[in-house]
A and B are shown apart, each in its own frame.
Chain A
Amino acid sequence: MLFNSLTFVVFFAVVVLVHNLPLPWRVKKLNLLVASYLFYAAWNPPFVVLLWISTVLDWYVARAVYSEQRLSRRRLLLAISVVGNLGLLGFFKYGDFLLHNWAGLMALLGVQYVPPAWDIVLPVGISFYTFQTMAYSLDAYLRRAPPASSFLDYALFVTFFPQLVAGPIVRPADLVPQFAEPKRTPANQFLWGLGLMTLGLFEKTVIADGALSPAADAVYGAKDTPAAVDAWLGTLAFSGQIFSDFAGYSTTAIGCSLCLGFSLTDNFRFPYGAIGFSDFWRRWHISLSTWLRDYLYVPLGGNRKGNRRTYVNLMTTMLLGGLWHGANWTFVVWGGLHGLYLAVERWLRERFTHLKLPPRAGFRLGAALLTYLLVNIAWVFFRAEDMTSAWRLLRSMFGLHPEVKAVLPTVYIIEVVTVIAAMWIIHWTMRDRRVEDLVAKTPWWVVGTVWAAMVFLIIITQDEGHAFIYFQF
Chain B
Amino acid sequence: MPSSTSSSDAVPDARAIPLLPWKRVGLLALVLALAGAVLWEWNARRLGYTPSYADTAGLWAIERRKVDLLGDPIVAVGASRTFFDLDLAVWQELTGRPLLQLSIVGTSPRRFLTDLADEPKFHGLVIVGVEPDLFVREGGFRAHFLDDARKETPSEWLGQQLAMPLERRLAFLNKDDLPLFALLRHMKLRNRKDANDPYLEVWNLNNIYEHRQSYMWERIERDRWLLQHATMAWADGMDETPIVPDSLVDAMIKANKRDVAKIQARGGDVVYVRWPSTDKYLSFENRTVPRERVWDPLLRETGAIGIHFEDHPSLQGYDLPEWSHLAAAETPRFTRALVPLLQQALCAQHSPWAYRIGAPAGTCNVPEGAP
Contact = CB atoms under 8 A, between A and B. Distances in A.
Contacts of A139: 7
A455 B7 contact: no
B18 A7 contact: no
Nearest to A1: B155
A396 interface: no
A290 B8 contact: yes
Contact of A465 (B12, B22, B159): B159
Interface stretch (B67-75, B98-106, B189-197): B189-197
B8 A410 contact: no
B195 A291 contact: no
B33 to A, nearest CB: 4
Interface stretch (A70-78, A369-377, A383-391, A439-447): A439-447
Contact of B15 (A210, A218, A258, A448): A258
B237 interface: no
A263 B26 contact: no
B243 interface: no
Contacts of A457: 180
A192 B15 CA distance: 10
Nearest to A438: B18
B14 A462 contact: no
A405 B158 CA distance: 43
A194 B30 CA distance: 12
A293 B22 contact: no
A265 B9 CA distance: 8
B279 to A, nearest CB: 28
Interface of B: 1-33, 36-37, 40, 56, 153-156, 158-159, 162-163, 166, 172-173, 175, 178-181, 184-185, 187, 189-198
A459 B189 contact: no
A209 to B, nearest CB: 9
B24 A406 contact: no
A211 interface: yes
A436 B179 contact: no
A415 B15 CA distance: 34
A462 B192 contact: no
24 contacts: A7-B155, A10-B158, A43-B154, A44-B153, A189-B14, A191-B26, A224-B194, A278-B2, A290-B2, A290-B8, A293-B4, A318-B1, A415-B181, A436-B16, A440-B20, A444-B25, A448-B26, A449-B32, A452-B30, A453-B32, A456-B37, A459-B40, A462-B175, A462-B178
Interface string A141-159: 0001000000000000000
Nearest to B23: A187
In the A-B complex, the 5 residue pairs with the smallest Cβ-Cβ separation, listed nearest first, are A448-B28, A452-B32, A42-B155, A440-B18, A451-B29
Contact of A43 (B23, B25, B155, B173): B155
Interface stretch (A61-69, A104-112, A240-248, A279-287): A279-287
A444 B191 contact: no
Contacts of B189: 409-411, 414
Contacts of A439: 18, 20
A185 B14 CA distance: 11
Contact of A6 (B26, B163, B191): B163
Contacts of B19: 440
A214 interface: yes
Contacts of A336: none
Contacts of A292: 1
Given A254-B15, A342-B1, A408-B195, 15 more contacts: A42-B153, A42-B158, A265-B8, A294-B4, A407-B194, A409-B198, A410-B189, A444-B20, A444-B28, A448-B24, A449-B28, A456-B32, A459-B36, A462-B173, A465-B156
A188 B181 contact: no
Most chain B CB within a 10 A radius of its CB, from A191, A258, A415: A191
Nearest to B157: A7
Interface stretch (A91-99, A295-303, A352-360, A425-433): A295-303
A191 B17 CA distance: 10
A20 B195 CA distance: 54
Nearest to B37: A459
B13 to A, nearest CB: 7
A2 B155 contact: yes
A405 B162 contact: no
A293 B4 CA distance: 8
Nearest to A261: B14
Main secondary structure of the interface of A (DSSP, over half): helix
Contacts of A45: 154
A263 B3 contact: no
A101 interface: no
A436 B37 CA distance: 28
Given A206-B180, A409-B196, A411-B187, A281 B1 contact: yes
A290 B159 contact: no
A7 B36 contact: no
Contact of B180 (A210, A218, A263): A210
Contacts of B13: 178, 263
Contacts of B175: 462, 464
A6 B2 contact: no
A5 B155 contact: yes
A6 B180 contact: no
A191 B195 contact: no
A279 to B, nearest CB: 9
A447 B31 CA distance: 13
Contact of B198 (A7, A173, A291, A411): A411
Contacts of A318: 1
B159 A282 contact: no
Contacts of A289: 1-2
A189 B17 contact: yes
Nearest to B172: A460
Given A407-B196, A410-B190, A174 B10 contact: yes
A160 to B, nearest CB: 13
B296 to A, nearest CB: 33
Given A1-B155, A410-B189, A455 B29 contact: yes
A317 B1 contact: yes
B107 to A, nearest CB: 16
Given A178-B13, A411-B189, A314 B1 contact: yes
Nearest to A41: B154
A47 B158 CA distance: 19
A267 to B, nearest CB: 10
A299 to B, nearest CB: 10
Contacts of A464: 56, 175
